Structure 1
Amino acid sequence: MKRAKLKWYTGWLICLLAMPLSLFANEPLIDLAAELEAHMAQQQDQQTEAPVVEEAAAIEPQESMVEAPEPPAVITPPVKPEPAKWGYAGELAPRLWHRLDPNYLSCATGQIQSPINLAQGVAVNAPSMPGIDIVYRPVPLRLIQDHQGLRGDYPLGSYIRLDQQRYEFTHYRFRTPSEHHLEGFAYPMEIQLFHRDGEGRQLIISVLVQEGRAHPSLATILSHLPKEKDTLNLVEDLNFNPVRFLPDNKNFYRYLGSLTTPPCTEGVVWIVFKQPIDASIRQLLTFHQLIGDNSRPIQALNGRLPLKSWSGDGARASSNRPSIPGYYFDF
């Protein structure tokens, strides 16, 4: 028994001696309370830092949006409406043009509209009025049939000169019957040659056509008509010059009027030759069958007195005051 107790004490003493002395120090080696407080403080720091990170992450895209340049705004130009369709019969007839489109109001309200009746007894003698210098060059024939009828296009380089002003020749058209009248009578056809200066002012030369002998230049036109509407027929191996349409007698009337088609723009200088040219009855009928009636009715003079480039024939002299109310344009 004593031997057993001795062994127990001896073992306990050995174990006690084997322990490190730090276990007997005043402060413990591991402070559990301090570790717990440190762990809780770390969790609180993480919870308080998380919103800051999220806020920074939320703000960062906003800052990038502010710094990034905005794409340029695309400005779409306003679409210009197409002009209203018009014609020469029915609901599109000339007497209704002003109702088809607000831009056509001048067709009804204008005071110097075209065409007009030209009479020697009303025109004013102006023999000193400058003549027309015509410089047309031959070019390949270009013809187009559109809703107005038959048109011949012309490239730049041909022109007329009137009062030291140059007007470029742009195109020519055929009207059946004639739009202008002479002494109260219409003619089977009228050829109109259009010109424009650098500021957009327009001048139109008009040649009336009467029944007579066949005209070679009109025969050329009829031999090369476009086969389809709104399609250019270019005849490259045929040089054509519309100067052949002009009469031998270059006496002319001159007045200020308008376009004879919508929008009936006013301020157009008209030169109408006194002498018609001839065309055969077959040529005149063929043109009329091709383009139909495409003439605007006669418009009121509204006091206008056309000028004439020759004297006599009972017309008034420009130096004398007219015996009836009226005015003429000294242009």
Structure 2
Amino acid sequence: MSDISKVAVIGAGSWGTALANLLAEKGCDVKLWVREEEVCEQIRVNRVNRVFLPDITLSDRLEPVRSLAEAVRDRKVVLLVVPSHVFREVLHRLKEYLASDVILIAATKGIENETLMLMSEVAEEVLGEEWRDRFACLAGPSFAKEVARHLPTAVTIGARQLDCAQKLQPLFNTEWLRVYGTADLIGVQLGGALKNVIAIAAGAADGLHFGHNARAALITRGLAEMTRLGVRLGANPHTFAGLAGIGDLVLTCTGDLSRNRTVGLEIGRGRKIGEITAGMQMVAEGVKTARSAYTLAEKMNVEMPITAQVYEILYEDKDPHSAVRELMSRQLKVELEH
């Protein structure tokens, strides 16, 4: 692992901080790029990120920095953990500082609104085709707080070339974090992005007190939507039965630490999306992804009724009760497509 043990983590939100600390605790040389001056100082002086990951003491091997150039200097691996809507901007800023042999890993879960691109496609457009085989994605059911507390977790790393994913597995693997590998980079990214939209729907159902049956139905039919779009875009359907698919979907739809489920809960309780997001410190990726997923489904002619209703609730002020009535009164279908 020595050749990839010098790591830059770009983004000091809860997940970025948790991953940076995990790597530092393993003995890696880790620099964490922190956007907020106050957060950077907290980590440097007090070894804690009070804003995004409170109550976790951070390793002394983790070095917070404010300069992107300093963060990636002499690094072998650059882990990008920034929101999807700033992913392109951050890559543009990083471009001139990246060494030609660096491996990029995205732990960002989203689809770019304007272009409908996955993060790997954004990276290829910004950095060039030569990065195709040196780009990976980390996904799976993994709340930052639980990983930081060393609670048992399993994730997967996807890359176009399986040997790239396999090379990165030991970097993150620990006694409490088990890491799998896959060559389905598209499927891993889509699973991580689309599950956030379904989680908003599941949260709304819980906020409306629709019960466990409704939540189970949303998770199951949400998985069917994710798989349909994934297959149309070239993903392996089996990926959606794995950690980046059903694994992350179940966690995000049911876990109390899920920001996207929380957004849905508040919508179900009658609050408007602008009011909800205004009071959130951390990004709920599903809000933006709902727009891009809806547009992408229309472009690809893929039926995604739950995603469509979430989009209309968020962006067209649709009443959640009306959305449920429409979902339940749709034309009857066979469950499995052959």
User: TM-score when scaled to structure 1?
Assistant: 0.23
Higher strand share: 1
Structure with the bigger percentage of helix: 2
Using CA pairs below 8 Å that are at least 6 residues apart, which structure has the higher relative contact order?
1
Larger CA Rg, structure 1 vs 2: 1
